Structure 1
Amino acid sequence: MGDIKDIRTVTVCRYIAPLREGGSLPALAEADDDFKYVLKFRGAGHGVKALISEFLGGEIARTIGLKVPELVFANLDEAFGRTEGDEEIQDLLQGSQGLNLALHFLSGAINFDPAVTTVDEAMASKIVWLDAFITNVDRTFRNTNMLIWHRELWLIDHGASFYFHHSWNNLEKHALSPFSLIKDHVLLPQATQLLEADQQIKQLLTKEKIREIVEGLPQDWLEWRDSELSAEELREAYINFLEIRLQNSDTFIKEAQNARQALV
């Protein structure tokens, strides 16, 4: 599964194209290792908090045996983007100097379509468990955030997870939340093995592993202007959130089971 310490740092050398309309969204870019990446910008909407969610969500998914494109730290130097003709994109690039996050571009991948591909119950349960655990609001029928690549299912886009850090009040209450939005999860109908998934995942996602993942966050992603907490205090808050949530997983499992029951 790899180790957090194996995460590479690349330098972006070419902006290829925005992936969706608008300048504050991801882009396809090429780095100095000659690979193409989906680049997530620290200067976009939710700033480094979206990068933190993407990093933590992706690394937790990888730890529990789910497929996620390789995550790399992506450096944008000061000169990058000056020749970009689109002013909105140029502003985004200039506002994203320093360390960003990128996912390896899966060339030829197609969007997961639940009408075409059936996910087996064990994997569906694991993915539903993951998204309830990290409070990911964005894996719905409207936007599945999964790809089929080489006939395998890959998870992308965890930037809408950990939404407690946008308000940053009453962390314990958020950690104990049943996460009612799981009712909209695209794989909920197939998630019949949540208790089995819970047992398997807890053997992999230990306290030590949680700490190792959170310790992998770059220091300057945790130096927030809107917070009086130090980077180390923020790190500990993420660790506490994840540990409390893991210890009380029965809360969100029951919520998912009840929501599934209402569907089927």
Structure 2
Amino acid sequence: MPNGKKMRFRYFAVNLVDHIERRNNILSQCEKWAIPIEVFEAVTPQTLDRCDYQYDPDRTISQIGRGLSKSEIACGMSHISLWQRLLDDNNSDAYVIFEDDISIKSDIPKLLESIDFTEIDMLRLYGGRVGKSMTVQTLNDRLSIVKCAQGLTGTVAYVITKRATNKLIPYCNTFQAPIDTMYDRSYDHGVPIYAALPFPVAIAQSSTQTNIFSSTISANISEKKREVEPSVRQLITRLLYRTKWSLQKRYAEYKLFRN
């Protein structure tokens, strides 16, 4: 690895035990690219009681206007459980975490070996729209690493280092919002988000099964929206939070380019 110590990576795919087609898909993808993948059995609403987490519906409604379903919390705990494992893993510096509906477009192990991780603790391998960002490493005439002012939406494929878990576990384990929303709030939890561009991972188009938890989550979100109307206090609190995050986002953009 250029200008830094050699990183020890461990690769995981988050998979629901009954999603056999998707498990076979990710195993096939990783075999093609010689990725030593391990399948992590996703937390479900039925196994959620085995997990240690904090969830205050009133606080969550005050932030995002609704509560979270058990499926959303279970999805989040799948990722947090892996972060907790990383924290205790003496043989790894970082985990590469995939959800199981991906299509791998390039040699990820080779890509990661070429990156200097001295300053990088979260690296996105897939995401939504890339907002304001700055190139920090140019790997070749096609690949680069950018630092983002804020997150890119989603937890489909990413690298997380042990250093990042110290901040992300206590922050995300409170479930003030869905896991991807909290993960993306780099301006609030303090762990900068980087991205490899162009993304080496895409969403697989061939799978006939829905995204991890997606159909259940969508239904439960609708139920949660109908379940309770936010109180005046919660609406005012939400407005204050939105104002705070807006200011934090603008400051994050300013810091990114001030030098």
TM-score over 0.5 (shorter chain): no
Normalising by structure 2, we get a TM-score of 0.31
Q: Which structure's relative contact order is higher, taking Cα pairs within 8 Å and 6+ residues apart? A: 2
Normalising by structure 1, we get a TM-score of 0.31
